[in-house]
């Protein structure tokens, strides 16, 4: 049997060829993030009307919902890359998981923070131990567990494998967060936007929120790609191509 | 902001600050990684 032809799409699975691609991509995503943020903030503060029940206070939705969505979404993406790295023994996939984790943890903190600042005026409490809030706190601890476990293991590939396991075990928490407002009685309001039903909010509010979600999405992509470049340099620093790349770019 | 200024600006302000800090940390990590990779092999950690 003749050897299988070399498949081209796996070229970017090697850190060496992904490094320059990530360098071009992260600037594109950063510019898109800035553009979406300007548009989203403009709609959030100048176009979207005042809420009938919550007055101006509801505008926290434009930062709270994107942060909470990103915290959940990034966890799934991180676990996905970690799984690919584990199953196919692919260094770059594991590096992507490590690169996403800090940004995901940051968005988890921001969703809890903005949620507290929204809860206080509307519910009268910064924090309640209900299902949605508690499961989001657990999400934050899962990010911390992933980061701490990876930091505690010196050998990067062993750290990748251990981190992948905690990421995959923890992914069960994401649907729990998502459905918590349906499964349990809670102070937290139900979803304003969901698949299969028309959104229960004014059009301009919805657009403001979606623009802000896009801004956060693009920001997270830019941050992850920028961080993975540093991780590649750190881990592959003994390789010749890194020495050449650094000598040229500095 | 109809009495909600503290809560609204507290949310948006802290989010903006956090993302700005992360961007600074990313830049610092990049600088450190490049400097380390540029070291001669024998003095590299």
Query: Using a CB-CB distance cutoff of 8 angstroms, which residues of chain B are in contact with residue A57?
Result: 1-4, 7-8
Cα–Cα dist A119/A150, whole Å: 34
Residue A7's pLDDT band (cuts 50, 70, 90): low
Neighbours of B42 (CB within 10 A): 5
pLDDT of residue B1: 75
Residue B2, phi-psi category: left (phi > 0), alpha (psi -120 to 50), beta (remainder): left
pLDDT at A229: 96
Q: Is A197 helix (H, G, I), strand (E, B) or coil?
A: strand
Residues A95, A235: contact at Cβ < 8 Å? yes
Q: Under the phi-then-psi rule, with left for phi > 0, alpha for psi from -120 to 50, and beta for the rest, what region is A54?
A: alpha
The ipTM is 0.93
Are B23 and A120 in contact (CB < 8 Å)? Answer: no
Instruction: Choose, out of A108, A151, A230, the residue to mutate when testing the contact with B (most B CBs < 10 Å).
Output: A230
Is A103 part of the contact surface with chain B (CB cutoff 8 Å)? yes
In terms of residues, how long is chain B? 45
| Inter-residue contact A97 to A142 (CB < 8 Å) | no
- Rounded-to-integer distance, Cα A99 and Cα A93, Å: 10
Tell the residue number behind the tokens 């970017």, with chain if given. Answer: A12
- Taking the C-alpha atoms of residue A236 and residue A241, their distance in angstroms, rounded to an integer, is 9
pLDDT at A55 over 90: no
* Chain B residues touching residue A242 (CB < 8 angstroms): 37
A217 touches chain B (CB under 8 A): no
- Write down the pLDDT at residue A1: 56
Report d(CA A228, CA A58) in Å as an integer. Answer: 36
A229 touches chain B (CB under 8 A): yes
Q: Where are the alpha helices (DSSP H) in chain A?
A: 15-42, 61-88, 91-123, 131-152, 156-170, 173-183, 203-235, 240-249
Torsions phi, psi for A48 (to 5 deg): -65, 135
Q: Report CB contact under 8 Å: A250, B38.
A: yes
Q: Would the pLDDT of A217 be above 90?
A: yes
Q: Give the rounded percent of residues in chain B with a pLDDT score beyond 70.
A: 100
User: What's the pLDDT at B16?
Assistant: 96
Q: What is the pLDDT of residues A21-33, one digit of tens each?
A: 999 999 999 999 9
The pLDDT mean for chain B works out to: 91
Is the per-residue pLDDT at A250 higher than 60?
A: no
- Residue A103 pLDDT greater than 70, yes or no: yes
pLDDT-derived band at A3 (thresholds 50, 70, 90) equals low
**pLDDT value, residue A52:** 82
Q: What angle do CA A26, B41, A231 make, to 5 degrees?
A: 25
Q: Is B20 on the interface with A (CB under 8 A)?
A: no
Cβ B37–A237 below 8 Å, yes or no?
Answer: yes
Among the partner-chain residues B4, B18, B29, the one whose CB lies closest to the CB of A227 is B29
Question: Which of A110, A121, A247 is facing B15, going by the closest CB pair?
Answer: A110
B13 touches chain A (CB under 8 A): no
Q: Within 10 A of A80 (CB to CB), how many other CB atoms are there?
A: 17
């Amino acid at each position: 049997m003749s050897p299988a032809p070399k498949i081209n799409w796996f070229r970017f699975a090697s850190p060496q060829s992904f490094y320059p691609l990530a360098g071009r991509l992260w600037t594109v995503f950063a510019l898109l993030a800035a553009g979406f943020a300007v548009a989203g903030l403009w709609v959030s503060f100048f176009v979207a009307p005042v809420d009938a029940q919550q007055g101006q206070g509801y505008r926290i939705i434009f930062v709270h919902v994107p942060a909470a969505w990103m915290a959940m979404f990034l966890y799934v993406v991180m676990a996905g890359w970690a799984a690919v790295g584990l199953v196919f023994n692919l260094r770059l996939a594991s590096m992507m998981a490590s690169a996403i984790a800090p940004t995901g943890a940051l968005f988890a903190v921001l969703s809890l923070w903005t949620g507290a600042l929204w809860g206080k005026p509307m519910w009268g409490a910064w924090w309640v131990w209900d299902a949605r809030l508690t499961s989001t706190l657990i999400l934050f601890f899962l990010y911390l567990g992933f980061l701490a476990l990876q930091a505690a293991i010196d050998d990067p590939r062993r750290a990748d494998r251990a981190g992948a396991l905690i990421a995959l075990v923890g992914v069960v928490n994401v649907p729990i967060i998502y459905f918590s407002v349906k499964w349990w009685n809670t102070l937290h309001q139900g979803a304003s936007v969901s698949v299969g039903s028309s959104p229960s909010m004014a059009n301009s509010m919805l657009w403001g929120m979606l623009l802000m979600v896009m801004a956060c999405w693009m920001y997270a992509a830019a941050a992850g790609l920028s961080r993975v470049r540093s991780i590649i340099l750190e881990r592959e620093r003994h390789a010749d191509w890194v020495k050449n790349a650094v000598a040229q770019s500095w | 902001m109809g009495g909600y200024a503290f809560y609204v600006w507290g949310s948006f302000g802290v989010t903006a600050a956090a993302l700005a800090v992360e961007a600074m940390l990313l830049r610092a990590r990049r600088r450190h990684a490049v400097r380390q990779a540029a070291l001669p092999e024998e003095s590299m950690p």
